Copies of this chain bind each other. A is one copy, B any other.
Amino acid sequence: MVVRAAVAGASGYAGGELLRLLLAHPGVEIGALTGNSNAGQRLGALQPHLLPLADRILEPTTAEVLAGHDVVFLALPHGQSAAVAEQLGEGTLVVDMGADFRLKDAGDWEKFYGSPHAGTWPYGLPELPGARQALKDTKRIAVPGCYPTAVSLALVPAYANGLAENDAVIVAATGTSGAGKALKPHLLGSEVMGSMSPYGVGGGHRHTPEMIQNLSAAAGEKVTVSFTPTLAPMARGILATCNVKAKPGVNAEAVRAAYEKAYADEPFVHVLPEGQWPATASVYGSNAVQIQVAYDESAQRIVVISAIDNLTKGTAGGAVQSMNIALGLDEATGLSAIGVAP
């Protein structure tokens, strides 16, 4: 069986990464590719690495163009997916790579995104408790944000096993592709090379409520998150440093055991051997997640560090992984756990 997939938003980084993965997927045929401001252009001019699609012309993002596909991926700006999705048939698998259907709390959505809440779809992070089951046979998938992917995989075992106090401090570094292709001065190469800088400090980043949602579900109570994202001089990758106070009686062995057990059967999440630390280079271009834990005895704190590729496991790879589950395919079809390094 080969499904036919359309990609709305094929000119951006998320759309480009998705196409890179779909080109290697044995069960997918690439159908319509759409853009908005770029409609009418050759894909080769916009995504020069996607040679087999170089002569494809971007079409406008309309329901007519997207109709007639088995799967439609939406890589659109936040707030635009709902209008498109509701025009697609119920039999079409719609995979939203934007934020529109991630949050359960309408108030959170409105506070952080400023538009009416569109609803909630099954959440495309199969490694979370219960998530894989909810993705089976679904026709609607909300792909998680890149930071919430890295952070939730890092901290859910701590909370699900009652190891941590509910006050998480998270600092994450991201590659610049996480900010997309927007033409903003601070994203120019001259500005980012050789520089680290923070943004969205103090609780303002839109991915914060999504992290809180995932961690609170695991903890069974509201978890507070203080999240600081930073921009690093690299194109891809997220390194998330997650620091939580250990509950009384917790020790290093208990922490390690919880993580090794949580991910023992996961194809893409790897708890590294003691002494080895995650590096974003090791997961470059792959769907892998590298995790390591430490127990800071002096501070009685648990430090969990995860590394992902923001465009792959953090966006397009996570989308394909969830699509595979929804379609009844082997979850790892078309995906690799091997990074492109050095």
Query: Interface of A with B (CB < 8 Å)?
Result: 13, 16, 20, 23-24, 42, 44-45, 47-52, 54, 167, 169, 171, 173, 175-177, 179, 181, 183-185, 187-199, 201-203, 208, 224-226, 228, 230, 232-237, 239, 241, 243, 245, 270, 272-273, 276-286, 288, 290, 292, 294-301, 303, 305, 307, 336-342
A198's partner among B45, B169, B208, B278 (CB-CB below 8 A) is: B278
A224's partner among B196, B228, B234, B299 (CB-CB below 8 A) is: B299
Q: Tell me which residues across on chain B come within 8 A of A54, comparing CB atoms.
A: 273
Q: Tell me which residues across on chain B come within 8 A of A336, comparing CB atoms.
A: 24
Docked-complex contact B234 and A195, CB < 8 angstroms: yes
Docked-complex contact B189 and A338, CB < 8 angstroms: no
Q: Tell me which residues across on chain B come within 8 A of A281, comparing CB atoms.
A: 49, 191, 194-195, 197
Docked-complex contact B296 and A203, CB < 8 angstroms: yes
Bound together, the chains give a CA A232 to CA B237 distance in angstroms of 12
Bound together, the chains give a CA A37 to CA B193 distance in angstroms of 25
Bound together, the chains give a CA A243 to CA B299 distance in angstroms of 14
The CB with the most chain B CB atoms within 10 A, among A169, A199, A299, is that of: A169
Bound together, the chains give a CA A192 to CA B193 distance in angstroms of 9
Given contacts A16-B341, A270-B51, A188 and B196 within 8 Å (CB-CB): no
Q: Tell me which residues across on chain B come within 8 A of A208, comparing CB atoms.
A: 298
Docked-complex contact B228 and A196, CB < 8 angstroms: no
Q: How many copies does the complex hold?
A: 4
Docked-complex contact A177 and B202, CB < 8 angstroms: no
Docked-complex contact B236 and A338, CB < 8 angstroms: no
Distance in Å: Cβ of A75 to nearest Cβ of chain B: 14
Docked-complex contact A340 and B176, CB < 8 angstroms: no
Distance in Å: Cβ of A287 to nearest Cβ of chain B: 11
Distance in Å: Cβ of A202 to nearest Cβ of chain B: 3
Distance in Å: Cβ of A293 to nearest Cβ of chain B: 9
Docked-complex contact A288 and B51, CB < 8 angstroms: yes
> Can you pick out 13 interface pairs between chain A and chain B where the beta carbons lie within 8 Å of each other?
A16-B342, A20-B340, A45-B276, A49-B340, A51-B338, A167-B299, A177-B342, A181-B188, A183-B185, A188-B342, A193-B193, A196-B232, A284-B340
Given contacts A24-B338, A301-B169, A303-B202, A191 and B189 within 8 Å (CB-CB): yes
Q: Tell me which residues across on chain B come within 8 A of A203, comparing CB atoms.
A: 294, 296-299
Docked-complex contact A285 and B340, CB < 8 angstroms: yes
The CB with the most chain B CB atoms within 10 A, among A195, A225, A288, A297, is that of: A195
Distance in Å: Cβ of A146 to nearest Cβ of chain B: 14
Bound together, the chains give a CA A175 to CA B224 distance in angstroms of 31
Docked-complex contact A189 and B171, CB < 8 angstroms: no
Q: A201-B303, A202-B303, A233-B234 are in contact. List 11 more A-B contacts (CB 8 A).
A: A49-B286, A169-B169, A187-B189, A189-B235, A195-B234, A195-B281, A198-B305, A199-B277, A202-B294, A203-B297, A208-B298
Distance in Å: Cβ of A41 to nearest Cβ of chain B: 12
